[in-house]
Chains A and B, each alone.
Chain A
Amino acid sequence: EAQVTQNPRYLITVTGKKLTVTCSQNMNHEYMSWYRQDPGLGLRQIYYSMNVEVTDKGDVPEGYKVSRKEKRNFPLILESPSPNQTSLYFCASSLRYKVENTIYFGEGSWLTVV
């Protein structure tokens, strides 16, 4: 089954404690992306990757890092989480970086930073 898998789905952490949200897709997609979803603000792009070893900032990259060492994986790293990073995070992938390629989203990761 074609899917984008995120882990963990739910996490409560404390300010400053590094954490990683993993993302994996099994569709051999070149393009992967991370979004955060906040009430009243919709989906905002954090980082994206057009292929292995190619990453770039989205609209709200501050406080986040990513890496793309393998095609299937695109982890999101919060080096020193802060409460304003409490949000619902989505990983997504598509065949290539073209708008008409269908974007497949993961189930989401609820992150609370206290």
Chain B
Amino acid sequence: GESVGLHLPTLSVQEGDNSIINCAYSNSASDYFIWYKQESGKGPQFIIDIRSNMDKRQGQRVTVLLNKTVKHLSLQIAATQPGDSAVYFCAENMSGTSYGKLTFGQGTILTVHP
């Protein structure tokens, strides 16, 4: 079946740099995407979401970009801090409706060096 995947399993950055985490999806019917952050020993936490009728959405220090042409999703973190070190993964709703379960990607490990 179709699934969400990640381009890079690990990403190391210096504190203060901007981070970009990528996610590829293969189901053109997916219309809703979420980014989660999972810190060591904790459950995933919602970061930001985006619907397929948008190309970009901004939150606090985070921006999600959606490129439907190439089925690509990215999470940009500005001025990355050590507290941003975590596993980040995307999830997609493949149902095309509001009542669909999410399919989760495997995750990218982000390490921020002071």
Contact = CB atoms under 8 A, between A and B. Distances in A.
B106 A100 contact: no
B43 interface: yes
Contacts of B49: 100
Interface string B42-77: 111110010000000000000000000000000000
Central interface residue in A42, A99, A102, A105, by most chain B CB within 10 Å: A99
A48 B102 CA distance: 12
Given A40-B106, A41-B106, A45-B101, A100 B41 contact: no
Contacts of B42: 107-108
Contact of A107 (B32, B41, B104, B105): B41
B43 A4 contact: yes
Interface in B78-105: 89, 91, 93, 95, 98-102, 104-105
A100 B52 CA distance: 13
A42 B93 contact: no
Interface of B: 4, 32, 34, 41-46, 49, 89, 91, 93, 95, 98-102, 104-107
